[in-house]
């Protein structure tokens, strides 16, 4: 199977970008999503993290947050879905290589979040068929407050030679 056929087998999405398409400074904003009680309950059930700041409204009201908050890792999980909806990685991303991540403010039930994403660095690997893109991401709520932020490192296929 030649290189073109291998990439066709990847089912590259219509908005997908290859490593060669990325430039420092490119920006995207994801669709929004409102956080629900179901998000909190399902993440607690999935992980076994039933900390009362997430699951007990009376307890949470007495905390500095004043209400139940979504688990920090749940926010990360949800934004991976929001970011996927951009379509830029569909069939061209090889691997999520890591991240540095900071939690800046709580995300509560009823908050509506989205992701601002910017290309920070592009670097070809020793294999010319791929490269690494570092993205700066900010999770913002409906008031424009940054709730979480950090850098994602993603490896992409290079565009096949013509």
CATH of the domain at 123: 3.10.129.10
Residue 55 lies in a domain: yes
What is the Rg, in whole angstroms, of the alpha carbon atoms belonging to the chain? Answer: 18
Confidence of residue 12 (pLDDT cuts 50, 70, 90): confident
Confidence of residue 4 (pLDDT cuts 50, 70, 90): low
Element containing residue 67 per DSSP (H, E): none
What pLDDT score does 11 carry?
A: 77
What pLDDT score does 125 carry?
A: 97
Residue 162 lies in a domain: no
Q: How many CB atoms lie within 10 A of CB 87?
A: 16
Q: How many residues does the chain have?
A: 162
Q: What is the DSSP letter of 161?
A: P
Residue 9 above 70 pLDDT? no
Residue 85 above 60 pLDDT? yes
When divided into structural domains, the chain yields a total of 1
Residue 151 lies in a domain: yes
Residue 112 lies in a domain: yes
What pLDDT score does 5 carry?
A: 57
* Average pLDDT of span 9-30: 91
Asked if 99 and 150 count as a contact pair (C-beta separation under 8 A), the reply is: yes
Residue 80 lies in a domain: yes
Asked if 156 and 130 count as a contact pair (C-beta separation under 8 A), the reply is: yes
What pLDDT score does 162 carry?
A: 65
**pLDDT tens sequence across 23-63:** 999 999 999 999 999 999 999 999 999 999 999 999 999 99
Residue 148 lies in a domain: yes
CB-based contacts of 34: which residues, under 8 Å, 6+ apart? 110, 111, 112
Residue 151 to residues 30, 61, 101, 102, 134, Cα–Cα distance (Å):
16, 32, 7, 9, 6
CA separation for the pair 13, 3 (Å, rounded): 17
CB-based contacts of 115: which residues, under 8 Å, 6+ apart? 29, 30, 79, 82, 83, 137, 138, 139, 140
Reduced to 3 states, what is the DSSP secondary structure of residue 113?
strand
Q: Are strands 112-124 and 93-103 parallel, antiparallel or unpaired?
A: unpaired
Domain that holds residue 71: 3-157
**pLDDT tens sequence across 131-141:** 999 999 999 99
More reliable by pLDDT, 12 or 151:
151
Confidence of residue 75 (pLDDT cuts 50, 70, 90): very high
| 8-22, 26-40, 103-117: least confident range | 8-22
């Amino acid at each position: 199977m030649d290189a073109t056929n291998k990439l066709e087998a990847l089912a590259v999405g219509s908005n997908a970008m290859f490593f060669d398409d990325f430039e420092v400074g490119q920006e995207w904003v994801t669709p929004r999503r409102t956080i629900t009680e179901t998000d909190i309950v399902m993440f607690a059930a999935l992980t076994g993290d039933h900390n009362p700041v997430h699951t007990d409204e009376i307890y949470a009201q007495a905390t500095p947050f004043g209400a139940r908050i979504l688990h920090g890792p749940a926010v990360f999980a949800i934004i991976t879905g929001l970011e996927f909806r951009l379509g830029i990685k569909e069939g061209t991303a090889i691997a999520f290589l890591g991240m540095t991540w900071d939690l800046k403010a709580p995300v509560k039930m009823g908050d509506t979040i989205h992701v601002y994403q910017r290309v920070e660095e592009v670097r070809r690997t020793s294999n010319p068929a791929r490269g690494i893109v570092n993205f700066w991401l900010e999770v913002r709520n409906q008031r424009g407050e940054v709730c979480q932020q950090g850098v994602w490192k993603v490896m992409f296929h290079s565009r096949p030679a013509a």
